[in-house]
């Protein structure tokens, strides 16, 4: 198994799943800095990172921009089709993909990829099909754990890629 792509769900994986609105109707999301650093260094290790979400929001688009993640699909009801599209763009197949999810809508795509992963707060059905489950909940460092886990399977410690002068 050679993982070339880690694809992430957003609500419940990159965030804790909470959706807040301002009095003006603007959406607020909180992302964990550790996750961002994990993504940055997993990409340095040669694994691309993509996002597939059932929703679209300005905070998410901003976070993806900050992280340099260009492979993203929003408002997806069929995450398997969205991942197939991303894989086609990259010239890879599902056998080269890991997907980290947390809820029922992720079950189909997780059942198709080489390495399904779940956040600690995932639904029981999602955990049941996951090859790996984070110790931390979504939005609290789960993605960082996933990045480190994938890198370790490749024989790489992400911390060894960090240079003191680099910041995210």
| pLDDT tens, the chain, 168 aa long | 699 999 999 999 999 999 899 999 999 999 999 999 999 999 999 999 999 998 888 888 999 999 999 999 999 999 999 999 999 999 999 999 999 999 999 999 999 999 999 999 999 999 999 999 999 999 999 999 999 999 999 999 998 888 876 655
Q: Is residue 166 part of a domain?
A: no
H/E element, 63:
helix 58-67
Average pLDDT, the chain: 94
For residue 116, what is the domain's CATH number? 3.40.50.1000
Q: Is residue 133 part of a domain?
A: yes
Q: Is residue 113 part of a domain?
A: yes
Q: pLDDT tens, 57-80?
A: 888 899 999 999 999 999 999 999
Q: Is residue 124 part of a domain?
A: yes
* E runs forming strands in 2-118: 5-8, 20-21, 27-28, 48-52, 72-73, 97-101, 115-118
Total tally of structural domains belonging to the chain: 1
Q: Is residue 167 part of a domain?
A: no
Predicted TM-score (pTM) of this structure: 0.93
Q: Is residue 165 part of a domain?
A: no
Q: Is residue 32 part of a domain?
A: yes
């Amino acid at each position: 198994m050679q993982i070339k792509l880690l694809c992430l769900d957003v609500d419940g994986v990159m965030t804790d799943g909470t959706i807040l609105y301002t009095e003006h109707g603007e959406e607020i999301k909180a992302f964990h800095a550790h996750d961002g650093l994990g993504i940055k260094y997993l990409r340095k290790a040669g694994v691309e990172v993509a996002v597939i979400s059932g929703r679209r929001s300005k905070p998410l688009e901003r976070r993806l921009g900050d992280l340099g993640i260009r492979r993203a699909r929003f408002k997806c009801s069929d995450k398997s089709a969205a991942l197939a599209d991303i894989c086609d763009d990259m010239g890879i197949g599902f056998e080269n993909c890991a997907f980290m999810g947390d809820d029922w809508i992720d079950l189909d795509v997780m059942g198709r990829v080489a390495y399904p992963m779940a956040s600690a707060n995932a639904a029981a059905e999602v955990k049941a099909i996951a090859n790996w489950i984070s110790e931390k909940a979504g939005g609290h460092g789960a993605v960082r754990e996933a990045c480190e886990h994938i890198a370790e399977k490749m024989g790489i410690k992400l911390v060894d890629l960090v240079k003191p002068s680099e910041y995210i």
